[in-house]
A and B are shown apart, each in its own frame.
Chain A
Amino acid sequence: MRFPGPGHPVARPLRLAVAATLTAGILLTACGSDDAPATGTAGTPVAGGSVTYAIDTEPTCFDIHVSPQDITAAIQRNVFDSLVAEDNSGTFHPWLASSWKIAPDLRSYTFTLRRDVTFTDGTRFDAAAVKANFDHIVAPTTKSRFAASLLGSYTGTDVVDEFTARVNFAQPFAPFLQAASTAYLGFYSPKTLTAHADDLCGGGPVAVGTGPFTFTSYTKGQSIVLTRNPAYKWAPATAKHTGAAYLDTLTIRILKENSTRIGSLTSGQIDVAGAVPPANVAAVEANGRLQLLRRDAAGSPYSLYLNTALEPFTDERVRQAFQRGLNIDQDVKTVYFGQYKRAWSPLTAVTPSYDPSLENSWPYDPDRANQLLDEAGWTGRDSAGYRTRDGRRLTAVWPIMPATVREQRDILGQAFQEDLKKIGIELTRPPLDPGTFLKQAYAGTFAVLDFSWARFEPDVLRLFFHSASTLAHGGQNASFLTDPEVDTWTSTGAGTLDKAVRDDVYARAQQRVVKTGAVVPVYTAATILAAEKYVHGIDFDTNSWPQFYDVWRDRK
């Protein structure tokens, strides 16, 4: 979900270049060595069979109400349903709720639930189940690291009648429908919540939901097995079919090593590989047996946040020079083999209320950067070639936590250091342990921090730029920005469902934080999957997680 949160795929230091080279070799030699089977998604879906899907990250905790991990939600999406479903245009559709009413003050949402939904342990899904789940999420004993924050200022759920639930908030809360559509606010059987509350992190059959698959087994470090729920008949309108899932079994293998995961796919030992490294994309595309599927992430792209409250970035001109001095286009293209798009805004292009007018508005321009630094008084040069002012070097600290580096962001950081050196800014990257990192990050002693945050919702702007969203209190305001207008805009956006108003305030916020140099958007990561062509119907939801409900495979 974000960098460098718990459980993210981490770069293993020993993932040697030789391994990458080797794998590329295997992929290349595998090309065309097999007969390409008949393909095409035009065929009629057939039920039955199983698919093995390899992922690169093992969830540390399977409890959707506790874990902040993407991978947890992506897997459990198959097991747990939500009240509503959101399509890729940002429109909400009925799911477990057949309809809903929102109070004009946005402080309560009344859901009319479907009457025919049962959990896989036979328990009926009703208003009491909604209340039990939401109450469980916010209970301090649950120690929720993410889901509770999606419930905002939740005050409780009223069971209006058996199939009507009213969810109440202390503050107007516009993002609730989006939150309610995510797997994090999915529903456990109330029976499981009572009997197994302490075991939910461990996954397995205790994870009882209403979803198209049941969680059959979990072998740590190895695999997760999901089995079709034959009784499933409440798919949302966003799905391509109704009724039970096509696949009998979905086996999710945990193969952390890229070479092993990709090699297992090209040698036919698995059917779908997740997290295809950008370096392997060309070889997969050239392999006649395989198809490549991709979707850009929603939310905040990977960005650098410049500490507006700390020298030298208290000066807007220095921040702007920093933005203009980075050759982002070229660096991102080089490091990610052209697979990740360069970002222009603190929202990614697929996120609602994205402002496309920012595109190309702040291109690489070292001349402009030099001019800005001159204007800011950093006109001296020291023996190392860095700019100085009053005898002090123009330097900025951007710490790195080696254990949490992923997506080769350390390499990208080196390219940035080189870029900035050319305009006379020294960017240092001291490696830190998590404890020191967090302590100093909270205290605001770092000039630069980097994060990405996946969520199909422009409200992430409030998380990153509202003055109340401090790092120490569960926010992500790493720019230490205190801009009353940004506060107003992001609060207004969170307090209305009026699309025109939201587009307007979020566009203003995006432009302000980019133009004042509070943030340097860098790239939008993409979910890249490779699959055998006999596997059909893989699609991504708004969080760019692959969905398996509609997936089917040709008969062998």
Chain B
Amino acid sequence: MRAVGPVRRRERTLLRAAGRRLAGAAAVVLGAATLAFAALQLLPGDPVAVLLGPATSASPQVREQIRADFGFDEPLPVRYLHYLGQLVTGDLGRSYQRQQPVTTLIGEQLWPTVQLVAASVTLAVVVAVVSAVVTTGRRSALRTLVELVELVALSTPHFWLGIVLLTVFSFRLHVFPAAGAQDLAALVLPAVTLALPVAGVLAQVLREGIETALEQPFVVAARARGRSRLGVRLRHAVRHAAAPLLTLTGWATGSLLGGAVLVETVFGRPGLGSLTLQAVTSRDLPVVLGVVLLSATAVVVLFTLVDLAQLALDPRLRTAAAL
């Protein structure tokens, strides 16, 4: 009975915090949408010419048709309101180049990228936690070696790492297929490629966090209560060190979306990365806009979640100012 009160209060404060953050997130997304729209308006040149490219045999009639279809001839405020209206109804317009709705295009390519990024983040966190917990506080050859590997991993470009992994595990050893997204085996190399550099960063941050935590008086207290060395690390120190890890994981997930562009190209995987690359090179502005909005939303949602997780994790943050 006694526990109910505080728990309820805690739930309520967390909910209120969540609500406030969601409102903030919506504002950020609207801002991103407006900025993206404004940026596209500032692009120099005639949008129809840009879309057709320098070498085209499109007749003036075709140009006029395109102008009318995409509403380039309407005044700016009308286009902006139209655009916002579309966003609210979940319509991102039609691709110039592919002549399909942007939502369809993104929808089709979302899953392979989500799969890739989720697998990579999970792998990176697992590798980082294991590597940090095992090697903290030890001045051993193992630690030096692990730290060296981490340093190499975090400074390796995705592109190069991908090619090396392909060469060894696909072209030479024939363990994994070189390209595609047909099954889980095809996910392994791209996920490892994306995960390793991130794992390097996370492991270093986590190890430092654990070591700082281990110097705190509560560790001595816990040990005095009879906790084992590993038990203290897992139960207490990791929890303390997790705050920066969480924040970093949020950041890393965002950056992995960018890394996916390269990895998807190297491994011939479908996904948002290859869609974005193609949209940018073929000047397919509605698709670029759609991807920008999606990324903004994803990052905002991600950071909101990280924020809330921090609150749940660390009671010290649940002050009036933070909520």
Contact = CB atoms under 8 A, between A and B. Distances in A.
A451 B55 contact: yes
B98 A60 contact: yes
A538 interface: no
Interface in A173-222: 198-199, 201-202, 219-222
B57 A145 contact: yes
A140 B65 contact: yes
B61 A140 contact: yes
Size category, B interface:
35 or more
A99 to B, nearest CB: 29
Interface in B258-317: 262, 264-271, 274-275, 278, 280-284
B44 A146 contact: no
Contact of A435 (B45, B99, B179): B45
B278 A6 contact: no
B62 interface: yes
Interface stretch (B164-172, B196-204, B248-256): B164-172
Given A6-B282, A220-B108, A260-B178, A435 B49 contact: yes
A68 interface: yes
Interface stretch (A9-17, A326-334, A500-508): A9-17
Interface stretch (B26-34, B120-128, B130-138, B155-163): B155-163
Given A14-B262, A434-B283, A222 B57 contact: no
A18 B269 CA distance: 22
B93 interface: no
Contact of A264 (B50, B61, B163, B179): B179
Contacts of B265: 12, 256-257
Contacts of B60: 473-474
B53 interface: yes
Interface residues of A, number: 73
Nearest to A472: B49
B97 A148 contact: no
B44 A433 contact: yes
Contacts of B58: 143-146, 148-149, 474
Interface in A410-454: 433-439, 441-442, 451, 453
Contacts of B69: 143
Given A220-B275, A221-B109, A253-B180, A68 B57 contact: yes
Given A14-B262, A260-B179, A438-B45, A5 B274 contact: no
B181 interface: yes
Contacts of A223: 180
B100 to A, nearest CB: 5
B266 A403 contact: no
Contacts of B267: 260
B270 A221 contact: yes
Name the residue in B64, B174, B283 with the highest tally of chain A Cβ atoms < 10 Å from its Cβ. B283
Contacts of B179: 253, 255, 260, 264, 269
B167 A146 contact: no
Nearest to B113: A221
A267 interface: yes
B59 interface: yes
Interface in A457-481: 463, 471, 473-474, 476
B205 interface: no
A156 interface: no
Given A61-B99, A256-B268, A437 B54 contact: yes
A471 B54 CA distance: 8
A266 interface: yes
Contact of A6 (B49, B97, B167): B97
A438 B112 CA distance: 36
A254 interface: yes
A26 interface: yes
A68 B56 contact: yes
Interface of B: 43-47, 49-50, 52-62, 64-66, 69, 97-100, 105, 108-109, 112, 157, 159-160, 163-164, 166-167, 170-172, 174, 177-182, 262, 264-271, 274-275, 278, 280-284
Given A5-B56, A22-B167, A266-B171, 20 more contacts: A1-B55, A26-B171, A141-B65, A145-B62, A148-B62, A220-B109, A221-B181, A223-B180, A256-B274, A257-B268, A263-B178, A264-B170, A433-B43, A434-B45, A434-B53, A435-B50, A437-B54, A439-B44, A463-B57, A473-B60
13 contacts: A4-B54, A14-B157, A26-B172, A58-B278, A201-B98, A201-B100, A202-B98, A220-B109, A222-B182, A266-B171, A269-B178, A433-B45, A438-B49
